[in-house]
Structure 1
Amino acid sequence: MNWIFLVAFVGILGALAAAGVFMLRRPPQGHPPTKAMARALLARVLISIALFALILLAWKLGWIQPRANPLGR
């Protein structure tokens, strides 16, 4: 289960990096701006929502258990 979370986190960071690259790259003179940055940010948001839903589903099905450590000990 941990590798699924790791892959999703790497995907989120990759989409964020791609959006940053698309933001810094400017289209050639006379061409309309592309929507690549917006698509990359949309992918990041969708992966984040899917990861959150997967965590909730895994908790509901008992695949993962919350562990609370007392702060005073």
Structure 2
Amino acid sequence: MLPKLFIVLVLLVILGSLASGLVFLIRDRGGSDRTVKALTWRIGLSITLFLLLMLGYATGVLQPHGVYPQPPAEAVQDHAPGPGERP
């Protein structure tokens, strides 16, 4: 549960950085470099989150799951092959 919470918090910080970049872009009208700094933070946080996700998967902290999870092993063994499937 803690890794999921961390991921959601980092995503919220990334969205906040993106929003602040938009606000700085509108307010400053190119007069300062605050927009570039905000967007640089967003890119850095996104890359860091991606690397942490890969590390979490490699170490087993994060377990992937599909939209359609695989059926239990018993159901697979009882399955009779269809016309186009190999036995």
TM band (smaller chain): 0.7 to 0.9
What is the CA RMSD across the aligned residues, in angstroms? 1.8
The whole-number CA distance in structure 2 between the counterparts of 1:68 and 1:22 is: 39
**1:1-73 paired onto structure 2 within 5 Å:** 1-26=3-28, 33-70=31-68
- Equivalent position SS for 2:28: coil
Seen in structure 2, the aligned counterparts of structure 1 residues 69 and 17 have a Cα distance that, compared at 3 Å, is closer
More relative contact order in 1 or in 2 (CA 8 Å, sep 6+)?
A: 1
User: Post-superposition shift, 1:69?
Assistant: 3.6
Tell me the distance in 2 between the aligned counterparts of 1:9 and 1:21.
Answer: 18
Q: Which runs of 5+ in 1 are unaligned?
A: none
Percentage of pairs with the same residue: 30
Amino acid aligned to 1:5: I
- Point out the structure with max Rg over C-alpha: 2
Alpha-carbon offset, residue 68 of structure 1 = 2.1
